Amino acid sequence: MSSEVLYISYDGLLEPLGQSQVLQYLYHLTKEYQITLVTYEKPEDWAETKERNALIEKVRASGIRWIPLRYHKHPTAPATAYDLLVGFLLCSYLVIRYRIEIVQVRSYVPALLGLLLKRIFKVGFIFDMRGFWADERIDAEIWPKDSRLYTIAKWAEQQFLTNADVVVSLTHAGVAAMREFPYLKENPPRFEVIPTCTNLEIFHPRFNTQDRQDKSFTLGYVGSVGGWYLFDPVLECFKELLEIRPNARLLILNRNEGDYIRNRLHFYGIDEHLVELKTVFHSQVAEEMHQMNAGIFFIKPVFSKRASAATKLGEFLGCSIPCLSNDGVGDMTAILENHRVGVVLREFNPEAQVLAIQQLLQLVEDPNVRDRCVATAHHYFSLEQGVKSYKQIYQSLGTRAVAIGKQLNHGKN
């Protein structure tokens, strides 16, 4: 008999992230495990009746038990405390009602629920951490490093890491950083690395790439230009590219940041006729990517990003597109350089950028690079590989739960 699994996500299933990084996995896992899914849905998403009802039917047909709770935002601390209280009462009932054996939590807030459920009900506890959440708030300058909130969050992180049966990290670099935490050096938890998955049935190479080769060189940028992303170096590299390939163009796929992008193009004196800015739905991104000869993106190389995996890297590689990115972010350097599917920028200065563009142009001319890109995408970012890894985790914890149950029954006798 397969194990009963409770999956808790503070991200809503109606959000794009919930559908791409939660539901995709669970669709496959529910074929062998009974999944009960608890999510916190934002009111504005829940108000979209058509999308909501379609998703409810889709999830029901898959066999997943989905129990959506309402997400509360303001005031921040009381709202989160209320969400946790409601979640704890519900999840305690679910553990008892369905004899849950394994609890998997996505990120830090629901990890509090997972920790309590483990201590009270002795269930297996998977901490799917998704990154260094507390340090992200420091690096983003949301919290000062000496703040009480940061101290509390790091204390909670220690409890999650030392009590979890399995800690899932997006990157090997994140695991290496955690192994250096003083309280883990002597007794580290069981770590598993499972990067963000990419739907390689959508992000796949175009069989005939001749049209891409015949056109002028197209450098591609996909997604946000703010937050953790560094957009100015992208434009600086494009200017260097124009020195070598004057007929090159920059294709940007972005939503809602057009004014800022045009402002930066003007600042760098880049002719807007050389830049195509498009707003497209996620379902259209792969088709647009097929026009690109190479992809480019840079992420702030701060401590918290060691545990991050850029989903767009898997999307570029799946579409057979080599990339130019920077060092100090997750496993990106190892992936790009070890598999020769991209170029890594180690310093943000003109000399390094000129060299990186030259190397990128040489790489694009390599007749085997596109096959290497696709093979690398399947090795690191395939949904099938991620599902396989989660199945192995569930199987090991399910076996553990059976053993504990036998011990308890033996004690009663």
Contact 372, 316 (CB under 8 A): no
Q: 96-109, pLDDT tens digit by residue?
A: 999 999 999 999 99
Is the pLDDT confidence value at 165 over 50?
A: yes
**In this predicted structure, what is the pLDDT of residue 403?**
52
3.40.50.2000, 3.90.226.10, 3.60.110.10, 3.40.50.11890: CATH of 4-197+382-412: 3.40.50.2000
Q: What is the mean pLDDT of the chain?
A: 92
Q: Residues with Cβ < 8 Å from 91, sequence gap 6 or more?
A: 6, 8, 38, 103, 113, 117
Let me know the angle formed at the C-alpha of 109 by 89 and 177, rounded to the nearest 5 degrees: 145
**In this predicted structure, what is the pLDDT of residue 209?**
52
List Cβ<8 Å contacts ≥24 apart for 375-380.
375/339, 376/317, 376/335, 376/339, 376/341, 377/198, 377/200, 377/203, 377/314, 377/317, 377/318, 378/200, 378/318, 380/195, 380/314, 380/335
**In this predicted structure, what is the pLDDT of residue 233?**
98
**In this predicted structure, what is the pLDDT of residue 216?**
86
Give CA–CA dist 390/225, Å, rounded.
32
Is the pLDDT confidence value at 217 over 80?
A: yes
**In this predicted structure, what is the pLDDT of residue 401?**
53
Mean pLDDT of 56-77: 94
> How many CB atoms neighbour CB 392 within 10 A?
12
Structure tokens at 162: 């030392």
> Could you tell me which residue, 411 or 262, shows the higher pLDDT?
262
* Same-fold call for 4-197+382-412 versus 210-380: yes
Mean pLDDT of 73-90: 94
Give CA–CA dist 195/215, Å, rounded.
34
> Could you tell me which residue, 356 or 211, shows the higher pLDDT?
356
Beta strands in 226-331 (DSSP E): 249-253, 275-278, 294-296, 323-326
Render 169-197 in DSSP notation, one character per residue. ES-HHHHHHHHTSGGGSSS---EEE-PPP
**In this predicted structure, what is the pLDDT of residue 408?**
47
Give CA–CA dist 223/200, Å, rounded.
18
CA distances from 364 to 32, 104, 159, 325, 342 (A): 42, 41, 47, 15, 9
Closest by Cα among 167, 195, 131, 104 to 385? 195
Is the pLDDT confidence value at 237 over 60?
A: yes
**In this predicted structure, what is the pLDDT of residue 102?**
97
Residue ranges of domains in the chain: 4-197+382-412, 210-380
Closest by Cα among 270, 204, 285, 263 to 238? 270
Bridge-based pairing state of the strands 191-193 and 218-222: unpaired
- Percent of the chain residues topping a pLDDT of 70: 94
Give CA–CA dist 114/123, Å, rounded.
9
Mean pLDDT of 219-242: 96
Is the pLDDT confidence value at 229 over 80?
A: yes
Q: 308-362, pLDDT tens digit by residue?
A: 998 899 999 999 999 999 999 999 999 999 999 999 999 999 999 999 999 999 9
Structure tokens at 186: 């002597």
Structure tokens at 66: 């989905």
DSSP helix, strand, coil percent of the chain (3-state; round to 5) = 55, 15, 30
Is the pLDDT confidence value at 252 over 60?
A: yes
3.40.50.2000, 3.40.50.20, 3.40.50.1100, 3.30.1370.30: CATH of 210-380: 3.40.50.2000
Strand partners of residue 219: 250, 294
Is the pLDDT confidence value at 213 over 80?
A: no
- Percent of the chain residues topping a pLDDT of 90: 83
> How many angstroms separate the first and last alpha carbons of the chain?
24
Q: 9-48, pLDDT tens digit by residue?
A: 999 999 878 888 899 899 999 999 999 999 999 999 999 9
- pLDDT confidence tier of residue 77, bands split at 50, 70 and 90: confident
Q: Residues with Cβ < 8 Å from 352, sequence gap 6 or more?
A: 345, 346
> Could you tell me which residue, 201 or 237, shows the higher pLDDT?
237
**In this predicted structure, what is the pLDDT of residue 406?**
47
Is the pLDDT confidence value at 380 over 60?
A: yes
Sheet with 275-278: list strands edge to edge. Answer: 275-278, 249-253, 218-222, 294-296, 323-326, 342-345
Mean pLDDT of 263-289: 93
Q: For the whole prediction, is pTM greater than 0.75?
A: yes
Structure tokens at 408: 């308890």
